[in-house]
Amino acid sequence: MKITKDVVEYVAHLGRLDLEPHEIDLYTDQLDRILQYMDKLNTLNTEGIEPTSHAIPVECLLREDLVKESLEIESSLQNAPERKGNFFKVPPIIEVEE
């Protein structure tokens, strides 16, 4: 399977990344070679093998649902690039027709 520029641009969009034209060229070439290397996984028969997501399985621990101290609003907002009152401010999400 050959990775094309279109694939890199599409995946970059999914990952919410703008790329410079020279980066698209670079990544197209490199991804193709890296994925070819990863194809060696397909030479292994893994039928009936369960995938591992965590190497050391830990049972889901339950605790009492108690109210505890949490971050204050000011400290939660202290790194905000832009804020309005007690909120993070962002550019428009839904387009409004004029």
15 lines the binding site for another protein (CB under 8 A): yes
> What sign for the dihedral angle of Cα 85, 91, 94, 96?
positive
Q: How far is the CB of 82 from another protein (least distance, A)?
A: 7
Give the up-direction half-sphere exposure of residue 73: CA atoms within 13 A in the CB hemisphere.
6
86 lines the binding site for another protein (CB under 8 A): no
Angle between helices 21-38 and 5-14 (to 10 degrees): 100
Q: Which of 56, 89, 21, 62 is nearest to 9 (CA)?
A: 21
Q: Which residues ranging from 28 to 57 are in contact with another protein (CB under 8 A)? A: 30-31, 33-35, 37-38, 40-42, 44, 46, 49-56
Residue ranges in contact with another protein by CB under 8 A: 7-8, 11-12, 14-20, 23, 26-27, 30-31, 33-35, 37-38, 40-42, 44, 46, 49-56, 58, 60-61, 63, 71, 75-76, 78-82, 88, 90-93, 95
